[in-house]
């Protein structure tokens, strides 16, 4: 889609709402209803990458220092994070703490 969703008029739709552009689902920021976000205490991080493997949304990447975190060079940054907390639960060294989102 060349236009943003909110700018599309009814005349902009393909017949049958077919989406002919591959990969356009990336534009849909599905994490905007998140109520918690992960925070990190990297002094305890052993760079095992377990959080990255378990993240159901593929939000987690490696930052410059080799630590794993959401939104770091990630193909799917934090705006796909639903705040599920799986990363925090699975982290063996308790690097990750979920905190309430402040509006």
Partner 1 sequence: MATKVGQEVSIALGDAVKLANADVIAAYPITPQTHIVEHLAELVANGELDAEYIPVESEHSAMSACLGSAAAGARTFTATAGQGLELMHEVLYVASSMRLPIVMAVANRALSAPLSVWGDHSDVMAVRDTGWIQIFTENGQEVIDNIICAFRIAEDHRVLFPVMVHLDGFHLSHMIEPMLMPDQAEVDRFLPPNNFPLPLDPSHPVTMGDFGPPVVYTEAKWAQEVAFRATKPVILECWNEYARLTGRKYAPMEYYRCEGTKVRLLTMGSFSETATIAVDRMKARGTDIGLIRLRLWRPFPFEEVRQAVENTDVLIVLDRALSSGGPGGPVCSEIKAALYGLDKKPKVVSFVGGMGGRDISPAGFEEIINKGMAIARQGSANEFEIFGVRE
Judged by the rule CB under 8 A, the positions of this chain that interact with partner 1 are 5-6, 8-20, 22, 24-25, 28
1 touches 8 (CB < 8 A)? yes
- How far is residue 103's CA from residue 92's CA, in Å, rounded to a whole number? 30
Nearest to 32 by CA among 80, 74, 75, 73: 80
Closest to partner 1 by CB, 49 or 56: 56
Tokens of residue 45, six digits: 């991080």
27 or 73: whose CB is closer to partner 1? 27
Beta bridge partners of 98: 38
Provide the minimum distance between the beta carbon of 52 and partner 1 in the complex, in angstroms, as a whole number.
27
CB of 85 to partner 1, least distance (A): 24
- The residue (of 1 and 99) whose beta carbon lies closer to partner 1 is 1
Minimum gap (Å) between residue 22 Cβ and partner 1:
6
């Amino acid at each position: 889609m060349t236009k943003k969703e909110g700018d599309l008029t009814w005349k902009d739709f393909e017949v049958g709402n077919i989406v002919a552009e591959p990969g356009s689902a990336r534009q849909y920021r599905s994490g905007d209803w998140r109520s918690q976000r992960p925070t990190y205490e990297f002094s305890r991080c052993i760079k095992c990458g377990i959080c990255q493997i378990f993240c159901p949304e593929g939000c987690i990447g490696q930052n410059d220092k080799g630590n794993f975190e959401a939104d770091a060079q990630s193909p799917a940054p934090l705006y796909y994070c639903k705040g599920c907390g799986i990363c925090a639960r699975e982290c063996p060294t308790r690097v990750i703490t979920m905190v309430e989102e402040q509006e």
